[in-house]
Every structure is written in C-alpha cells, then in structure tokens.
Structure 1
Amino acid sequence: MTESIGVIILAAGSGSRFRQVAGQDKDKLLADCTGRDGAVRSVIEQVLVNLPPSLEKRVLVTREDRPQAIRMAQAYGCDFVQLDSPGLGDSIAAGVQACPDLDGWLIVLGDMPFILPSSIEQVVAQISEEGISVPVLAGEYGHPVGFGRAFGPQLMALTADRGAKGLFTGARVVEVAVDDPGVVWDVDVPEALIFK
C-alpha cells in the first residue's frame, strides 16, 4: 500500500549523549557524516537524501532552535512542525497531526543516516491499513517503522517520551527482513558518524 504515505522525520531530541562527548554546542543532526554513497553531508541531510522520491508528503518535527535543520528539510520538500518537547511521543503525535488524512505514516529518526533507500521502500511497501511494518536485521527490530491508517488516533495520542513501541502489542506486525545494518545504526555519539 503506497497510496498516500507520509514521512514523519523526528528531529526534536536534545542529543544529550552526543553533546556530552562532542561538546554542548555540537548538534548531532548538523555534524558532518560520510554517507554510504561516499558523499559528506550533515546527518539530517543524509536522512533526507535517503528518502525515496515517491514519498512526497514529508514532515520534519523539530525544535525552534534548529533553523539550519528546518532550512535543510525545506530544501528537500518537507513541511515542518516546531515543538518545545524533546519527547518521542510528543514528536510522533505532532507529526501525524500535521497530516492526519493519509493512508499511513513512516516514522523516521533524524539521527539514522545510513538506512538504504531500498530498505525504506521495502518497509513502505508492507504498510497496510491495520498493520505495522518494521525492518528486521538478524532478529533485531530497526527503523523506519510504518503504521497504517488505523493507527492514526493512537499515534496522535502519544505523549512525553513514550514512543510507538506499545502499539505493537496485539497488532498485525509485518517483519521486513533486510540485509542493511543502517536500520539499527543511530548516531548517539560522535564515533557513530563513521559507518562500518
């Protein structure tokens, strides 16, 4: 199902673990990162570059103090939502509320720059109205995660730092096997900027 799937890029977290190592003035989303294509871009731009062109509705959820990330997202055709909370649940809810009438949503983390576009496409292809699709690498769930239309009210009701993992309980979850370490590779510390 790929009728109208929205991409919600979560970029409102504070990145505290990264700042503890790199310095309080260092934003991990803006850190230089060499992508799997060999090009050096910021972390957030690598995430945006990897999104398949077929996913036209894109919403970046971020904080007001990230104007560079907002400009970058706009250059890649994203709308944006600003919020004061770094909470994962608040971010997901705000993103889905910005485009509630779609057939589904793909939740993408703004600090996962190494996911292959083909992996994203595989997850999107398995989104169904009442299902959740998730990439799996060697038995481990990864990102991005796709939610069908039926999950809209529950996604919009998430709050604070409670993410969407609780929605998996009792749901029809389609595990999408991928051979892509990028689906479990997030940039929490500076060393993670180099993909191995």
Structure 2
Amino acid sequence: MRRAEAEDAGRIFDHLLRLSVEDRSLRFCGAVREPTLRRQAENVAAGYPAGLLACSPEPGAPVRGMIEIARIGAWAEVALSVEPDWRGAGLAPRMMLAAARWARLRGIHVLEALTLPENGAMRGLGRKMGARSRMDDGMIRQMFDVDMLLRDELGPLPLEGGAHPVGPVAHLASVSNHRPADLRRAAA
C-alpha cells in the first residue's frame, strides 16, 4: 500500500479499465464512461480524493487495487476497487485498514461507503469489518468506526518531545503496520 502520486494517473486509469463494466458500475454506483474514469484517475493522482494504491513495490508496477478517501467534514467517504484476479487475497480489508490509519491521523473517526444493494463484495466487507449498515434512498450506507477497525493497533503515540508524527513519518503510519518504535527510528 502506498499513497497515489501524480505519476500514477495512467496506472490508476489502466486499473479502472481492467475492471469489468459491471464491476465499474458497482464501484461508481452506476455506469461510467472512459472520460469519467480518466478524470477520476487524474483527480486521485493529484490528491483529491486521497488515494491509497495496492501494487508491487517496483517502480511503474500496475495498480491492482485502490481505495479512495474523500474527507467530508468530520467523516470521510471511501470507495474501493480490486481487480478480479486479486480478489479473495485479503486486499480489500488491508485497504480499509490503511484508510482507517489515514483517517485517524487526521482526526476522522468514521469512514462511510455508499454501495448498491447488489454489491455483495462490499456488503460482505462491511459485515466482516463491523460496519453499521442502513438503507438510504435505494443505496446501502455503511459506516465504519475507525477506532473499532484499529482497536488492535496502538494509537498514534507522540514521538520523543511530545510531537505527533507528521510528514513522511505520518505517511509511514498511514499506509503501513509500523509501530511507534519504528516511527521514532524513521524520524531520527
């Protein structure tokens, strides 16, 4: 998992194109055309909505999964996609946890996903990860409690001198399983 960057726009677009038409419809809650996918890829690569990418660590590696996080006041909306060949390997839960780390570092306590009733994969992820779900105007609104998602992880403890992680150190915490001791070493 890593944060999307400007040079990732083409790889994000290719990832979205590798999804079937049905999968794209489930991801975007309706039919989307290629220009919309390209705009979405460019927006995520530019930083809004924030995007965390699942891909091999090699430079230029294809994006195989992605979670987008759009802060909306005190909460954030999430949307994720995983390519068919990569499903069932635990990528979606890992992306949700990475998004929860991102959110916690920004003082966000609720992640929300809006999904179609026929999106069984997203509904299953919500059940597995303890989301509260309700029907809202024909859509299913899933609310994920960030603190509950991260209950087995240590909170963002301050570094020496009482400072909280920022910059590259906060980025490590937001997209990895690094513990505070690892963060202290990274900050040194």
Decide: shared fold, TM above 0.5: no
Q: Which has the higher contact order (CA 8 A, sep 6+)?
A: 1
Q: TM-score, normalised by structure 2?
A: 0.29
Compare the two structures and name the one with the higher helix fraction. Answer: 2
Specify the structure having the higher radius of gyration (Cα).
2
| TM-score, with structure 1 as normaliser | 0.28
